[in-house]
Amino acid sequence: MTLSPPFLLFLAYLLGSLPFGLILTRLYGLGDIRKIGSGNIGATNVLRTGKKSLAFLTLILDALKGAAAVWLAMYILPEQAPMAGLAALLGHMFPFWLAFKGGKGVATLIGVLLALSWPLGLMMMLVWLAAALMLRISSLAALCAVLSIPIFINIFHVYNILPAVTLMIFFVIIKHRNNILRLFTGTEPKIGQNS
């Protein structure tokens, strides 16, 4: 099977743009997730519905779509795998069918990294979980995890993915810009709060 790189990256974008948080909350009769809490379509906002299992499923599916995009590229055009991961992340963040207003990409990034280099993805996930348990602030845990990635890239010597992963880190931080402002003003909500 052969695909041109642009078409492969478009498929990866489409995979990433599947809004599982929105789909699942509607399927379970919870309405439009974009109208509660932060308005985000990711797992943290799904948690604000009070449905922990639904939030966990959203997290898993958001990670799986990132991994699936990378696996697809590895099967068809292996050299494009890091860029396919980036395309999936951008699909999650900027889905065209939601007027380019998507999630913040942390779970999808974990899935991408697990598929590109499972030790790197595992370490990011562990940093994220540890920070979330200790700090009880989802955005701060996410930022800690994302900023730890370059350290683990050096530890595991996976420099071939560095250019694409650097862009992924950049976009995740940009997506958290409002959270960063609230962190500085002390108004960022803790996990489970409704704002």
Q: What are phi and psi of 28, to 5 degrees?
A: -90, 10
Do 97 and 18 form a contact (C-beta atoms < 8 A)?
A: no
pTM: 0.93
- 141: pLDDT strictly greater than 70: yes
CA distance 124 to 120: 6
195 located within any domain: no
Residue-wise pLDDT for 48-101, tens only, equals: 888 889 999 999 999 999 999 999 999 999 999 999 999 999 999 999 999 999
Chain centroid to CA 34: 17
Do 152 and 162 form a contact (C-beta atoms < 8 A)?
A: no
136 located within any domain: yes
Chain centroid to CA 62: 7
Q: In the chain, what is the greatest distance between 2 CA atoms, to the nearest angstrom?
A: 52
70 located within any domain: yes
Q: What are phi and psi of 31, to 5 degrees?
A: 85, -160
Which amino acid, one-letter code, is at 22? Answer: L
The predicted structure's pLDDT at residue 193: 62
Q: What are phi and psi of 42, to 5 degrees?
A: -90, 180
155 located within any domain: yes
Task: Name the domain count of the chain.
Answer: 1
- What are 180's two structure tokens? 């960063």
Chain centroid to CA 96: 17
Domain that holds residue 61: 5-185
- Give residues with Cβ within 8 angstroms of 177, minimum separation 6: none
The predicted structure's pLDDT at residue 192: 62
CA distance 36 to 160: 40
